[in-house]
Amino acid sequence: MPVTPFHFGPGAAIHALAPRHVSFLAFCGANVLIDVEPLYFMLTAQPPMHRMLHTYLGATIPVLATLGLFLVARTSAPRLGLPDWFGWSALTMRQVALGAAFGGTRTSCWIA
């Protein structure tokens, strides 16, 4: 099932071990972006559900998208008045990159 809370458990554990180094928000964001793929294939009844994004190579796309979305949000936040829920604006690029990379590799263990 895509985007289940169970997918976030490993991210919570990793963040608990290294909270200053790994972004839990980026971990979850990468997981959600990857799980758009099986959601699409579920809704259109096209098995198998886990395809390209659930490989290590394919997971780089949502990981890079997570980094890009973070950069866009951080640069446009002052102009748009985006709320700073969960303190996301204080995250460094390194924290986001590690969180997204862990999120992408955690999900990529499912090869169709």
- Total domain count, the chain: 1
Tell me, yes or no, whether 17 lies in a domain.
yes
Tell me, yes or no, whether 101 lies in a domain.
yes
Give the whole-angstrom CA distance, residue 82 versus residue 56: 32
Tell me, yes or no, whether 75 lies in a domain.
yes
Q: How does residue 111 score in pLDDT terms, banded at 50, 70 and 90?
A: very low
pLDDT digits (tens, 9 = 90+) for 84-101: 888 888 999 999 999 999
Tell me, yes or no, whether 76 lies in a domain.
yes
pLDDT digits (tens, 9 = 90+) for 11-53: 888 888 898 999 999 998 998 898 889 889 999 999 988 888 8
List the domain range (segments joined by +) for residue 27.
5-107
What end-to-end distance do the CA atoms of the chain give, in Å?
A: 14
Q: Which residue, among 98, 91, 105, has the nearest Cα to 54 in the 3D structure? A: 105
Tell me, yes or no, whether 81 lies in a domain.
yes
Tell me, yes or no, whether 112 lies in a domain.
no
Tell me, yes or no, whether 41 lies in a domain.
yes
Give the whole-angstrom CA distance, residue 80 versus residue 90: 17
Tell me, yes or no, whether 88 lies in a domain.
yes
